[in-house]
Amino acid sequence: MVEIIENKDITSFTTFGIPVKARYFAEYSSERELLALSRKEEFLNNEVLHIGGGSNLLFLEDFGGLVLHSAIKGIKEYRKDDETVYAIAGAGEKWTDFVDWCLERNLAGVENLAHIPGEVGASAIQNVGAYGVEAKDVIHVVECFDTQTRKTVRFSNEECRFGYRDSMFKKDDVRGRYYVLRVSFRLRPDGIPMSLDYGPLKSLKERLGKYPTIQEVAREVTNIRKSKLPEPSETGSAGSFFKNPVVPVHFYKKIKNGGFGDVPAYPAGEGVVKLSAAWLIDKAGMKGVRFGGAMVYDRQPLVIVNAGGASGRDVKELSDEIIRRVRTKFYITLKPEVNFIDTGIKITVLGTGGSKGTPELGCECHVCTSDDIRDKRLRSSVLVETAGLRLLIDPSPDFRQQALNLRLADIDAVLVTHSHYDHVGGFDDLRPFCGNENMPIYLRADVNADLHRRLDYCFREHPYPGVPTFKMNVIDNKPFYINGLKIVPVEVMHGKLPIYGYRIGKFAYITDASHISEEEKEKLENLDVLIINSLRDKPHFAHFSFDQAMDMIRDLSPNRAYLTHLCHEAGCHAELESRVPAGVSPAYDGQIILSTR
C-alpha cells in the first residue's frame, strides 16, 4: 500500500534548490496505487498538486496540501514498420534518460530535445521544445488517469490541442483533472535528424563536413545548453523562465524601426512573429541583476538562478522586475514559463470608497476634511495575488491612480462585479496592461453587452491603434478557472440588479450588495477573509447599511471581515474602528490582507 508522508521535504523534487515542504506527499508506481490514493481523505479534502521533475515549478512557500509524484517507469518499443517505431515511456522516466534510450537505438525525433530537465509526463503537459522541435511533433498518444471518473483514458495528438508551451492539460476546463501515466512517441528508425533549421544547428552540417547523425545533433544541443544554462545540480534554476512572446508583425516592425534592428524574430503564424525573450531581457538591462539570492544568469538572461540562499519570493520579485522593465522599454508583457506554487492569497485594497469617493467634492464634513490617510477613499477595488496570478476586481475610475500608487506592472485578468461607472470607469486605463495581447476579462453577459455599447471603440474590427484590447469571457453563476485557479461567482442583489461577488479559496469579495440569498450564502461558508460593503448607517435601497453588514458578517461567520464601499456618511476610520466587534475592521486604501486558499 502506498504511504502518505506528512511534512515531507520535497526540495529534491524541484530544480531551484529552494527548501520547501509539503503537508502531505505520496509517490505511486502504478495505476492501482494512484486509484487507491484518489480515494483517501488527504486527496479528497486538500488541494492536490501533481508534479514531475519540478523543473518548471517555483514554490513561494511550503505547500499546504497533497503533493503527488509519479514513479511509473519503463520504456517499451513497438516497431510498426520500416518507417515508424513507437516508444512508450512511463511518466516518471527522466526525460534525458528517454532521449538517451532513443539515441542508443538510433531512433530519430527527440535529438533536438536533448539535455532538457524534467520527466516524460511533463513533456506532454508542457509541450517542451528546443531548436525547432517540440514534443508535439513526435507524441502519438498520451495515457492518463482521469481524477473525476477514476479511469484510464487515452488522448491522441490532435486531442491534446498542443500549442507553444501549451496543451489541453493546461487549459482551464481540464487543468489538474488528468495525471499522465505514459506517453507514446512516434519515432523514425532511419537515424536522420528531424530538424537542422533553427539557430546554431543551421551550420552544423558545414562544420562537420557531412550530414550529422542524431547523436551528433544531440551532442551539439547538449553543448549549447551547457554553455548557456547552469547545471541544476550545481546552480538552482528552472531553465528558461519566460516564454518567447508572440506579437503581431506590425508590433515587431515598430520595435525594429525604433532603433533595435537586431531584434531576433521567427515566423509564428499568419501575421505574427515570435521574439526572443532573452534578447528583450538583455536589452532591458536585466542581465546579472540580483534580488536577494535570486539573479538573472549572466550567460543567459532568460534564466533566473538561485545564486545562494534565494527564497521563492526573491525569484518572484526578480521576475516581476524583469516584466516591469521589459514592458517599460518595449511595451511587451513577458509571461513566465514557470508555474508559481503557493496556497496563500495576498489582497491589496486599492479603494474603499463609495461611488463618489471620499472626500466628496464640495463637502466640508469632518470625514472629508480628516487628516487621517485612512479616510482618503478611492473608489472600491482590490488586487488579488495567488498562484502566480494578479487578478484585478473592478477597474474603478480611480484605477490609474491606484496602479501608480502600487507601481503595478502586470495584471493577468480582470473580474467585474457589475457595470456601474464606479466599478468600470477605469477600463480605458487598462491599455498599458494589454500591450502585445488582449487582456482577459471575466464578467456577466449583461455587463459584457453594456461595456460593448459604452466602449465600442475597443471592439471594432479595426480599432484605433493604442486602444485597450480585451478578451471578453462571459461567465455564468458557476465556478470557472484561470490558469487552474478556481473562482466562484456569488450572485448578490444590488437593489433589483443581480451582480457578482467572487470567492477565491477562503477569501470572498462582496461589494454593492443589498441582499444575499440563502443559496448563495452557502458559497460563503468557512471563509477566512470576507470583504463586504457597508455604505453608511442610514438604510439604502441598493447597499448594505452598517447594521445590515454586521448582521451578514454574523450570519456568515468568517474568521475576519473588512468593510468597504464606505461613503463619507459612514464616518471616520477611527470612529468605525471603535464600533466594530472583534474580528471586524474597516478596510482602508493600500491595506494588505493575507489569506489562504
Q: How far is CA 10 from the centre of its chain?
A: 22
CB atoms within 10 A of CB 309: 12
Distance CA 298, CA 385 (A): 29
pLDDT of 535 higher than 90: yes
Q: Cell triple for residue 22?
A: 509539503
**What domains appear along the chain, each with residue ranges and CATH number?**
5-70 (3.30.43.10), 75-217 (3.30.465.10), 229-340 (3.90.78.10), 343-596 (3.60.15.10)
Q: Is 165 a catalytic residue?
A: yes
Among 380, 344, 414, which residue's Cα sits nearest to residue 510? 380
Q: From the candidates 55, 167, 237, 240, give the one annotated as an active-site residue.
A: 240
- pLDDT at site 480: 93
Instruction: Give the residue-averaged pLDDT of 54-78.
Output: 93
Per-residue pLDDT of 134-189, as tens digits, reads 999 999 999 999 999 999 999 999 999 999 889 999 988 788 899 999 999 999 99
Under 8 Å between Cβ of 341 and 313: no
Q: From the candidates 23, 165, 182, 374, give the one annotated as an active-site residue.
A: 165
Q: From the candidates 143, 337, 360, 520, give the one annotated as an active-site residue.
A: 337
- DSSP label at 456? G
For 19, phi and psi rounded to 5 degrees?
Answer: -55, 135
What DSSP assignment string belongs to 99-155? HHHHHHTT-BSSGGGTT--SBHHHHHHHT-EETTEEGGGTEEEEEEEETTTTEEEEE
For 248, phi and psi rounded to 5 degrees?
Answer: -60, 150
Instruction: Give the residue-averaged pLDDT of 98-111.
Output: 97
Distance CA 535, CA 576 (A): 12
User: pTM for the complete prediction?
Assistant: 0.84
Distance CA 156, CA 158 (A): 5
pLDDT band (50, 70, 90) for residue 10: very high
Per-residue pLDDT of 108-123, as tens digits, reads 999 999 999 899 999 9
Cα atoms in the 13 Å half-sphere on the side-chain side of 228 = 16
- Backbone φ/ψ region at 74: left (φ over 0), alpha (ψ -120 to 50), beta: left
Distance CA 61, CA 340 (A): 10
Q: Is 240 a catalytic residue?
A: yes
